[in-house]
Each structure stands twice: as C-alpha cells, then as structure tokens.
Amino acid sequence: MSSLEKTGLSRRSMLCGVLVALAVPGGLAACGSEPTPGGTGTTGGTTPGGGTTPAGPPIIAALADVPEGGGLIAGNPANGKPLVLVRTGETVKAFDATCPHQGTAVSPPEGDVITCPNHGSTFNASDGAVTKGPATKGLAEVPVKVEAGQVVPA
C-alpha cells in the first residue's frame, strides 16, 4: 500500500492540489471528486466539482464565472485536460490550454492575449492564433456553447 493510499488521497487529487497551488488561481474545476452541493450524483452530466446536472450535458463552468472580456482556465469534462475559456458578452470560446510549443499550460487571457508562462509564446484570445513564438501554431479550439447560464460542450 502506498503512502498516498494510506492517507486516503488519490494520485489525481494530489496532482490537482499541486496544480492548483502552482498554476491556477481559483483551482482547476475538474479536479474535484465530490458532488457539488446542487448536484444529484445520479444522472446527467458531471459538473466541474464532480456533481451532475439532471439529464444534461457536462458543465465546464458557469457563464457568470467567466469574466466578461477575459477568461479563465477550467477542466474539460470530456478528457480532463484544461481549457482556456474566453468570454465576449454571452459568447464563450474554448481552446485547449496546452501550449503547442512544449505542452505547458497557458495562463488565462489578459486583455486579448493568452500567454504561455514557460517560454513567452502569445496567442490571440479571440481565435487562438499564435501571435509570438516560439510556438509555431495556435491553440486548438474546442467547441462549447452556453446553455441555461452554463458553458457546456457543443
């Protein structure tokens, strides 16, 4: 039995804790494993905190949590990889938050710029296009939509 198992911590929860402490203000939404207070825990999609929506798609984030004219990093319920969400009005775009240069997680957008903290690559927040290297290609867009005040996969 590993020391993590003895303490009741999973490797995932330990890794998520480290990522939260090092990289993402407010935490990665997909790291939780407990149901959210409003979740039913029985049917539907998974909410960022691990709960579920009644017969609905998995929730990436609440629209209200994505800053207007900015964005945030959230977990992708489809594969657990982080997404960078960018909001303009009621429209949200999502991009894979992994820098195509060397796989470092990018930072949330500031203004219209998404920056990789590792080597300084920058990307346009409106379309994910690379604006400064060393990355040679942009961030991959991930289809999302806003439904009932929640950002969900499209």
Please give the Cα distance from 81 to 68 (Å, whole number): 23
Determine the pLDDT at residue 114: 97
- In the chain, which residues have pLDDT < 50? 1-52
Do 49 and 40 touch, CB atoms closer than 8 A? no
Please give the Cα distance from 29 to 141 (Å, whole number): 19
Determine the pLDDT at residue 54: 58
Please give the Cα distance from 115 to 7 (Å, whole number): 37
Query: What is the set of domains in the chain, with CATH numbers?
Result: 9-153 (2.102.10.10)
Do 71 and 108 touch, CB atoms closer than 8 A? yes
Please give the Cα distance from 95 to 128 (Å, whole number): 7
Determine the pLDDT at residue 111: 86
Determine the pLDDT at residue 122: 98
Determine the pLDDT at residue 48: 43
Q: Which residue is listed with tokens 């960022």?
A: 48
